[in-house]
Amino acid sequence: MSKTVHEVALKNKKREIDYGKEFNRTFGISLHGFVDILTGFDIVKFGEWLEVPDGISTKDFVEEKYGDKGVKIIEALIS
């Protein structure tokens, strides 16, 4: 069953609220700039902000720099 625009927007807003403080503590920046109410977490924009080197996955880069906690936050945001 497909979700309504309203349901998608609520889900994305809830994720932003649920993970905002932890994201800020971990990455030192607000989650708000990486979340679109309709499309959710923008992993590409986040990767650009991180300046992930070519040939390295964003996940591997986050794990190396921010540890397992950073990876878990990102995985929760994109799931």
Q: What residues does each domain of the chain span? A: 5-78
Looking at residue 3, its pLDDT comes to 81
Q: What is the pLDDT of residues 47-57, one digit of tens each?
A: 999 999 999 99
Tell me the whole-structure pTM to 2 decimals.
0.87
Number of residues written out for the chain: 79
Count CB atoms within 10 A of the CB of residue 26. Answer: 18
Name the residue with tokens 């990102």.
74
pLDDT > 90? residue 2: no
Tokens linked to 52: 């992930």
The whole-number average pLDDT for the span 14-33 is 96
The whole-number average pLDDT for the span 39-43 is 95
